Structure 1
Amino acid sequence: MVLWRYSKHGWLQKDLSRNSSHFISSLIQHLQREFPLKDLGSLSFLGIQVTQTPHGLHLNQSKYIVDLLSRVHIDGSKLAPSPCGTRVKMSHFDGDPLANPTFYRHVVGALQYCILPRPEIAFLVNQLCQHLHSPMSTNWSSVKLVLRYLIGTIGHGLFYAKSTLQLQAYCDSHWAGCLDDCQSTSGFAVYLGNSFVSSSAKKQPVVSCSSTKVEYRSLAITTAELYWLCMLFQEIGIPLPIARIIWCDNISALALASNSDIFTKGLSSARFAYLKSKLLVLPPINFKGAVKDTILQHEDSAISP
């Protein structure tokens, strides 16, 4: 519990979580005499159960998932080790139309709500949502696979423990992953210390002819999310002293992000020479020597000014 008190120096915050339960109870009783209050019991938010431990907070939706499984009548099915396979690619033309598409929309809509404490199913639920207008039998098979995975992991959820204020993100993309329109899928995950705080998995609005462009666009989307979080922490008065980090596994996208100045503006001679060397624009190579040695020599000499 946190108590806010206003003084001549502004708002002051007092942490009451370490005080005795007797003091907290007396404080609540005092507030009830002044204001209409209702004790809602243990902490919960929009159906998300919060378990407090000495090491942190555990968020799960076990009750919500049990209710969903009972509505779908899939309680006793065989468990699945993961919500999807390595070659999941859905198409509007695979399978037969469902006789009851309304029920499909109801179940997939419920799975969207499960993503809050269970981000590991976000990719497949995102794929299933793209077929809400005309679901097919293959889509329903994927829905049942997700439900079978949730059966064996009902109590799983996000865990938040005390950690550093280092903000870092991981981004990736799937080039031309959609079989119907060849659009790519971008995704990112943002961590504050060791705690998961934000994620996204959605199709890019345009079709890219290069995987580098797809990865670079994913990098830009992740950068915008990190910037928004930095501004949010700044507004609530929490400084982030550690530099923000974005992890990307595409070398071409990283090179484009590092060398974009050379394509957009005039540069000093030293900066231009450095970025030119990063692009591996080299003088004619003597084929009597080693090409590899020449490249390494230019990399060693290209020191950032």
Structure 2
Amino acid sequence: MECKPLSTPMETNLHKLKVEAEESEPIDPTLYREIVGSLMHLVNTRLDICYATNVVSHFMCEPKKIHLMAAKHILRYLRGSIGFGLNYEQVEINLQGYSDFDWAGSTTDRKSTTGCCFNLGSAMISWFSRKQSAVALSSTEAEYMAASMGAREAIQTH
């Protein structure tokens, strides 16, 4: 019996973009790069498009029509959610940090991804999401690596 890794919907969509690009026609790279560059700028204030922007940025060298459609889909999402926002409440000012991980979540290299954020009161002041540098042999090891990355971020930026 062969064990196949479970893939997330986002990884499935990334794979779909790579496969369908072979059949798609090339487009003007300048327009595509302008759109993706604008999305990269927006990531600073719209954290919800971070992963999708990362995916479309993989195709900057030779963009195809399917990649442009994906980038435009992100723009349509932004237009539809323009009125959304965060509500910051007046609360006691405490620094809180959170970290999490997905054990062996990458189907290509089996590395785990760590996410971490820091809140000051009700406002998020720092966050990151990145692959761990080594392959964790257990979920406990991945958890320690995530906690270590979060502590390192706290020391370096705060």
TM-score (norm 2): 0.70
Tell me which amino acid in the other structure corresponds to 2:129.
A
Does the 8 A contact of 1:118 with 1:158 survive in 2? no
Closer/same/farther in 2, CA of residues 135 and 106 from structure 1, 3 Å limit:
same
Does the 8 A contact of 2:88 with 2:123 survive in 1? yes
Deviations 1:56-113 (A, max 9, x none): xxxxxxxxxxxxxxxxxxxxxxxxxxxxxx6111238422154334433322221121
Structure 1 counterpart of 2:144, from 203, 211, 216:
216
Aligned residue-pair number: 145
Does the 8 A contact of 2:27 with 2:63 survive in 1? no
**2:100, 2:43 → 1: CA distance?**
19
Structure 2 counterpart of 1:166, from 94, 98, 111:
94
Tell me, yes or no, if structure 1 residue 192 matches structure 2 residue 120.
Answer: yes
**1:102, 1:205 → 2: CA distance?**
33
Does the 8 A contact of 2:27 with 2:64 survive in 1? no
What is the aligned-residue identity percentage?
32
SS class of match (2:92): coil
More relative contact order, 1 or 2 (CA 8 Å, 6+ apart) = 2
Matches within 5 A, 1:126-165: 126-135=54-63, 139-165=67-93
**1:141, 1:211 → 2: CA distance?**
37
Structure 2 counterpart of 1:96, from 10, 18, 21:
21
SS class of match (1:95): helix
**2:127, 2:40 → 1: CA distance?**
13
- Runs of at least 5 residues in structure 1 that lack an aligned partner in the other structure: 1-85, 233-305
Closer/same/farther in 2, CA of residues 181 and 144 from structure 1, 3 Å limit:
farther
Residue of structure 2 equivalent to 1:109: 37
- Runs of at least 5 residues in structure 2 that lack an aligned partner in the other structure: 1-7
Closer/same/farther in 2, CA of residues 127 and 201 from structure 1, 3 Å limit:
farther
Deviations 1:178-202 (A, max 9, x none): 4444443322221111111111122
**1:202, 1:128 → 2: CA distance?**
17
RMSD over equivalenced CA pairs, Å:
2.9
**1:119, 1:212 → 2: CA distance?**
28
**2:67, 2:140 → 1: CA distance?**
30
TM-score (norm 1): 0.40
**1:107, 1:153 → 2: CA distance?**
18
Tell me which amino acid in the other structure corresponds to 1:128.
V
Tell me which amino acid in the other structure corresponds to 2:41.
Y
Rg (Cα) greater in structure:
1
